[in-house]
Amino acid sequence: MDWKTFQALLSGVNKYSTAFGRLWLSVVFVFRVLVYVVAAERVWGDEQKDFDCNTKQPGCANVCYDHFFPIAHIRLWALQLIFVTCPSLMVVMHVAYRDDRERKYKAKHGENTKLYNNTGKKHGGLWWTYLISLFAKTGIEIAFLYILHRIYNSFYLPRLVKCEVSPCPNVVDCYIGHPTEKKVFTYFMVGASALCIVLNICEIFYLIYKRIVQCAKKAPPYRPPAIRLEEKIRASAPNLSIS
């Protein structure tokens, strides 16, 4: 996987993100992508070779490995990183669409005219796109955490598993290679994913709160009905003053 291309695609998201969004992007690159590329891939490596069972029955070790590890942690995390960052590209594509509209508008009406004051400002449709991307990222994070927990029944990685799947002749003891290292990395990646979920939720509340404040400022000041009625009576009453 070309992580440099992956980073270049997401670097444009940083320009249109809030403080929470920039922090989320930093956590993704520093605590997830870099840890994945530098350390996690080496720890897992060819883990099937490190999966050792105390039997020489042909095919038993392969079947037991497939039973306990239907999908490797490292490949599941790669899919998670790809899927969880795709919603952010929706924002970049929406801004690119605005830039194209702005270019066509200037070509038609002159360079001194403007369709948008700022194509990257989060208002109108772009605000909704940004909010939807946050909900999508949060949902994807939660879904992958659930999948990981569902496949392995927990986030804990044991040293020894007992297998009795055919063609194993009886209950076979199988040992996982580097169990402590893998357990540490599993907890770390799960914790980083949970932190990203918290940041996404904080950003959702921040965007909604900011929009409510903006709408409240634009709304006309509230005037009690009694004052409005009094003004109407004064306006409709005849002028009885004697000059």
pLDDT of residue 221: 66
Question: What distance in Å separates the CA atoms of residue 203 and residue 79, rounded to the nearest whole number?
Answer: 24
Low-confidence ranges of the chain (pLDDT < 50): 240-243
Residue 242 lies in a domain: no
Residue 126 lies in a domain: yes
User: Which tokens sit at 70?
Assistant: 């239907």
Give tens-digit pLDDT for 87-114: 888 888 888 787 788 788 777 777 777 7
Give tens-digit pLDDT for 162-186: 888 888 888 888 888 888 888 888 8
Question: Which residues, in sequence order, are CB contacts of 141 under 8 Å at separation 6+?
Answer: 80, 84, 193, 196, 197, 200
Residue 226 lies in a domain: yes
Residue 59 lies in a domain: yes
User: Which tokens sit at 192?
Assistant: 């980083």
List the CATH number of the domain containing 110: 1.20.1440.80
Residue 195 lies in a domain: yes
Residue 241 lies in a domain: no
Question: What distance in Å separates the CA atoms of residue 150 and residue 194, rounded to the nearest whole number?
Answer: 16
Question: How many structural domains compose the chain?
Answer: 1
pLDDT of residue 242: 44
Output the CA angle 96-100-101, nearest 5 degrees. 120
Residue 211 lies in a domain: yes
pLDDT of residue 211: 86
Q: What is the CA 11 to chain-centroid distance, rounded?
A: 15
Asked if 33 and 192 touch (Cβ cutoff 8 Å), the reply is: no
Measured over the CA atoms of residue 176, residue 181, residue 182 and residue 187, the dihedral's sign is: positive
**What is the residue-wise DSSP string for 140-170?**
HHHHHHHHHHHHHSSS---SEEEE--TT-SS
**Measured torsion, CA atoms of residues 43, 47, 49, 51, in degrees rounded to the nearest 10:** 110
Q: Which residue segment(s) compose the domain that 94 sits in?
A: 3-236
Residue 243 lies in a domain: no
User: Which tokens sit at 77?
Assistant: 């995390």
Phi, psi of 160 (to 5 degrees): -130, 135
pLDDT of residue 143: 95
